Amino acid sequence: MPGLLLGDEFPNFEAETTIGRIKFHDFLGSSWGILFSHPRDFTPVCTTELACAAKISDQFKKRGVKMIALSIDSVEDHRNWSKDVMSFNSEAESALPFPIIADDKRELAVLLGMLDPDERDKDGMPLTARCVFVVGPDKKLKLSILYPATTGRNFDEILRVIDSLQLTAQKKVATPVDWKPGDKVMVIPSLSEAEAAALFPNGVTTKEVPSGKKYLRYTQL
């Protein structure tokens, strides 16, 4: 199945959405972007996910990330489902704060390698998996995560990853397990000791390990 690799330019697809027809790169402009797909409208897990994404949409905005969802139903279904989603959030009067792509012909699902072979509709057609694509301002794929239809995503983790992506796009650091903004970061292995000392004025501390190798280098930004 075709798919995308990290660093690939994200396809500049055209699609119908709940805000009209878009060209993806124009939709993104110079922003970061997140595209998250759903198996189907009017399904329980998808509804909880869209509701969560809507609730924390200001967190994406704060990070300069444009949001867009996708599922394999029509614009009309998406518009009706959006009302359920906002009602689930007890915000029935508000509009869903991001558009949904109508991939009812599954063209994007195939192009982006999003079909889940284990989940099928009543006609035996495969549904979309829960993909997350984060695209940088250079339109290149920075992150992809693929969940099966039966497992809902954790949008706090997605925000955490975006914080790491945005930081490591600017600085020669990597973020360790469970890192959160403000925590110490790790110096990337390709930097020499002298380069690290010059780049990180707060100093670099190295954790001693039995191998004697000095690769566990931390700094506070």
Residue of 33, 39, 99, 126 that binds ligand BEZ (CB under 6 A): 39
Structure tokens at 211: 């191998």
CB of 113 to ligand BEZ, least distance (A): 18
Quick check: 150 binds ligand BEZ (CB under 6 A)?
yes
In the chain, what is the greatest distance between 2 CA atoms, to the nearest angstrom? Answer: 62
Examine the residue annotation and report whether 52 is marked as an active-site residue of this protein: no
CB of 90 to ligand BEZ, least distance (A): 20
Of 35-43, 155-163, 170-178, 197-205: span binding ligand BEZ (CB under 6 A): 35-43
Residue of 40, 55, 79, 120 that binds ligand BEZ (CB under 6 A): 40
Of 38-46, 83-91, 161-169, 206-214: span binding ligand BEZ (CB under 6 A): 38-46
Q: Give 132's strand partners.
A: 36, 145
Binding mask 83-122 for ligand BEZ (x = CB under 6 A): ------------------------------------x---
Quick check: 189 binds ligand BEZ (CB under 6 A)?
no
Neighbours of 198 (CB within 10 A): 10
Q: Please give the sequence-ordered ranges of beta strands (E in DSSP) within the chain, or none if there are none.
A: 14-17, 20-23, 32-37, 65-71, 100-102, 115-120, 126-128, 130-135, 141-147, 173-174, 185-187, 204-206, 217-219
- Of the candidates 46, 51, 86, 101, the residue annotated as catalytic is 46
Of 41-49, 56-64, 182-190, 201-209: span binding ligand BEZ (CB under 6 A): 41-49
Q: What is the DSSP letter of 140?
A: B
Closer of 44 and 182 to ligand BEZ (Cβ): 44
Q: Please give the sequence-ordered ranges of beta strands (E in DSSP) within 77-128, or none if there are none.
A: 100-102, 115-120, 126-128
Quick check: 146 binds ligand BEZ (CB under 6 A)?
no
Residue of 4, 46, 86, 108 that binds ligand BEZ (CB under 6 A): 46
Structure tokens at 90: 């007890």
Give me the helix-helix angle, 155-170 and 44-55, nearest 10°.
50
> What gap in Å lies between CA 134 and CA 197, rounded to an integer?
32
Which residues make Cβ contacts (< 8 Å) with residue 180, sequence separation at least 6? 160, 163
Query: So which residues are the catalytic ones?
Result: 46
The residue ranges that bind ligand BEZ (CB under 6 A) are: 39-40, 43-46, 119, 127, 149-150
